[in-house]
Amino acid sequence: MSTATPTMQPHEIIWTLTNHVFVSRAVHVVAELGVADHIADEIVSVKALASACAADAEALDRVLHLLSTYGIFDRRDDGYVHTDASRLLQSEHPMSMRAYARMIGMPVIRASLDQLEYSVRTGAPATQLVAAEGLWPYLVAHADEREIFGQAMTGKAAADTAAVLGTYDFGRFDTIADIGGGRGHLLRAILDTTPTSEGILFDLPGVIETLEVGRDRLTPRAGDFFVDPLPTADAYILMEVIHDWPDAEAAAILRAVRRAASPGARVLIIENVLDDTSPDPRGHTLDVIMLACTGGRERTGTALDGLLKAAGFSDSTVINTGGPLRIVEAVAAGQAN
């Protein structure tokens, strides 16, 4: 397997990372073509796969051969079988990452990546060159991409959600508001494990209006957290929301939560928390994605504590979930700032 590791020779590190963009692109394309949906338990010939996906057989084989060196698909005779990783590219897998690969491959994200130099020179999100209105209004206005984004968040969160639920006791709250909760996959999973809690799912009107499946004890609420009052709740979840925004906007969201919260209510920021003593490539990859695509950033526990205190929260604690996400819990102090 040829991922870059610190044990590689220096020239190999540069070669591997420089060219890795082609490997990533191969994952996007294979996800887009739906190749994994055409493989079950038996070997499927390249010819049959190419025909099912409207692809050129030789070209598809070359791309799949590359991915198989990373453990995505297993090349056997004249065809392919699944590996654990390639199964995650199946649309119906309960932890499917197909939509996540398609999302990163969407033109609006790829074009932002192409313009990373603009972000590095200016500090501003490259997305503003591609979708001047910003990523969230862009997604609201583009139904196909919004659908892929929603599926991507749901699929990606499937593994993380189990770690969060296994770590934190949500059952002690009567009302839990998931702010910027998207399709509500985390809130639904929480309500499944807390028989009496009520949930409020707050997101932009363009997201809330597309929700198809209602459920008991879950109230959707459409609004803009920069403009509209947030619901009253005992706990406020912000999963992968604060990292989408620069400090000024992140602080404004936390202040809006604090204005809605009674003293003693909890805010739970659930996202990747950077640890300067042990830098993690995943956290720093997300940080650069945020730089280019949203203008946000990943933060350390100390940086999040600073934002929380300034917004009127105290006693912040970082809780490890055992997964890549951590929970930063803080308490609404006596006075809203």
Ligand X SMILES: C[S@@+](CC[C@H](N)C(=O)[O-])C[C@H]1O[C@@H](n2cnc3c(N)ncnc32)[C@H](O)[C@@H]1O
Binding interface with ligand X (CB under 6 A):
136, 153, 157, 180-182, 203-204, 207, 224-226, 239-241, 244
Nearest distance in Å: CB 99, ligand X: 12
Q: Which residue lies nearer to ligand X by CB, 157 or 273?
A: 157
Nearest distance in Å: CB 207, ligand X: 5
Report DSSP letters for 199-228, one per residue: EEEEE-HHHHTT-----TTEEEEE--TTTS
Regarding beta strands 299-300 and 273-274, do their DSSP bridges make them parallel or antiparallel, or are they unpaired?
parallel
Q: Which residue lies nearer to ligand X by CB, 35 or 186?
A: 186
Query: How many residues would you count in the chain?
Result: 337
Q: Which residue lies nearer to ligand X by CB, 44 or 153?
A: 153
Nearest distance in Å: CB 319, ligand X: 17
Angstrom distance (rounded) from CA 172 to CA 234: 9
Nearest distance in Å: CB 60, ligand X: 32
Cβ contact 194:214 at 8 Å: no
Q: Which residue lies nearer to ligand X by CB, 44 or 187?
A: 187
CA distances from 261 to 56, 174, 175, 231 (A): 57, 13, 11, 8
Nearest distance in Å: CB 155, ligand X: 10
Q: Which residue lies nearer to ligand X by CB, 153 or 251?
A: 153
Nearest distance in Å: CB 233, ligand X: 15
Q: Which residue lies nearer to ligand X by CB, 73 or 245?
A: 245
The b-or-e profile of 6-19 (16+ CB within 10 A means b, else e) is eeeeeeeeeeeeee
What's at 29, amino acid-wise?
V
Q: What letter does residue 37 receive in the DSSP assignment?
A: G
